[in-house]
């Protein structure tokens, strides 16, 4: 009887696992399918239009090439700068458009919104070279942009110097004066904050306050000895889109140790009196 009972329990356990695994697989497949459907909602090839890349991630400096099935501009507008783009983006995508032929143009991206989904649609009132309205209501293309993030290769030190320097790297340009306001060392126990100074590592041209994607930070004054510290990045803004870091960044720094004198030596010349 006990053997039958044990066998019955084992049967239910095995069946439960057998049914649970497909259920989890189906859940994952359903989530993946929903994501695919969400991504495939755009129709970048509708109306005979071709755009490349047709999807994926984009960033500053990338080029988007669009080709139309009909002649869109006169030949004298080829390679002429400051042409209106035949498409618009929501949220706004900064850049310049240049016609490379009468049917094909290139949009060069100069600015994106961090962590956004840019959806492109044809510009309102778009016309072909003959002045005929060019309308494809269901045409669209979607692109994602990298999230705004701060990273560092700095690892927690067992013996942290009183004035450590930490190199930080951002996925988007940040203003260095704002970095000094939103980055600080914090005592792990008392939560006391210690302001930092920002050290620019490369010269990047900027009409306003200095900006950079990589820089070093260090405490303005020596950190108290015998304490554990973290480096905190709190609310730093992307310089262009003005969106804040979506989370509090905590980088473990380590424990400061007092100066220890290991040995002392004295030297007297052989011909001098001690």
pLDDT reported for residue 93: 94
Whether 267 maps to a domain, the answer reads no
Q: How far apart are CA 265 and CA 270, in angstroms?
A: 16
pLDDT reported for residue 196: 98
* 117 and 155 housed in the same domain: no
pLDDT reported for residue 26: 31
* 133 and 77 housed in the same domain: yes
3-state secondary structure of 183: strand
pLDDT in tens, 51-92: 999 999 999 999 999 999 999 999 999 999 989 999 999 999
Beta pairing class for 117-122 and 50-52:
unpaired
Q: Is the pTM of this model over 0.75?
A: no
Q: How far apart are CA 233 and CA 183, in angstroms?
A: 5
pLDDT reported for residue 15: 42
Q: What are phi and psi of 17, to 5 degrees?
A: -65, -40
| 69 close to 48: Cβ distance less than 8 angstroms | yes
pLDDT reported for residue 112: 92
| Ranges of residues in the chain whose predicted pLDDT is under 70 | 1-40, 203-207, 259-261, 265-274
* 166 and 140 housed in the same domain: no
Whether 239 maps to a domain, the answer reads yes
Beta pairing class for 50-52 and 94-99:
unpaired
CATH number at residue 250: 2.60.40
Last residue of a domain, one of 101, 120, 144: 144
Domains held by the chain: number: 2
Domain carrying residue 71: 46-144
CATH number at residue 137: 2.60.40.3710
Whether 170 maps to a domain, the answer reads yes
DSSP result, 217-266: EEESSPPPTT-EEEEEE-SPBPTTT-PBPSS-EEEEEEEE----------
- Strand extents, DSSP E, 33-133: 50-52, 63-67, 87-90, 94-99, 104-111, 117-122
Mean pLDDT of the chain, nearest integer:
84
* 156 and 112 housed in the same domain: no
DSSP category for residue 13: H
């Amino acid at each position: 009887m006990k053997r039958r009972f044990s066998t019955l329990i084992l049967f239910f356990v095995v069946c439960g696992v057998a049914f649970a695994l497909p259920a989890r697989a189906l859940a994952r497949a359903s989530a993946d399918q929903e994501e695919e459907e969400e991504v495939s909602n755009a129709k970048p090839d509708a109306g005979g239009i071709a755009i490349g890349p047709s999807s994926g991630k984009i960033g500053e400096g990338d080029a988007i090439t669009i080709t139309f099935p009909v002649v869109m501009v006169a030949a004298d507008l080829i390679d002429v700068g400051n042409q209106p783009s035949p498409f618009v983006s929501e949220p706004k995508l900064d850049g310049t458009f240049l016609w490379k032929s009468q049917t094909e143009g290139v949009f060069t991206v100069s600015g994106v919104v961090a962590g956004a989904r840019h959806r492109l649609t044809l510009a309102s009132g778009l016309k072909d070279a003959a002045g005929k309205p060019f309308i494809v209501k269901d045409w669209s293309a979607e692109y994602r942009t990298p999230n705004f993030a701060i990273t560092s290769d700095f690892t927690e030190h067992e013996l942290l110097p009183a004035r450590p320097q930490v190199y930080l790297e951002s996925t988007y340009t940040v203003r260095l004066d704002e970095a000094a306001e939103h980055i600080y060392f914090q005592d792990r126990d008392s939560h006391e904050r210690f302001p930092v100074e920002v050290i620019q590592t490369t010269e990047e041209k900027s009409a306003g306050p200095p900006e950079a994607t990589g820089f070093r930070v260090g405490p303005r004054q020596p950190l108290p000895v015998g304490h554990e510290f973290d480096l905190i990045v709190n609310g730093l803004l992307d310089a262009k889109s003005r969106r804040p870091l979506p989370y509090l960044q905590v980088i473990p720094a380590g424990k400061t140790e007092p100066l220890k004198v290991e040995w002392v030596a004295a030297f007297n010349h052989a011909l001098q009196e001690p």
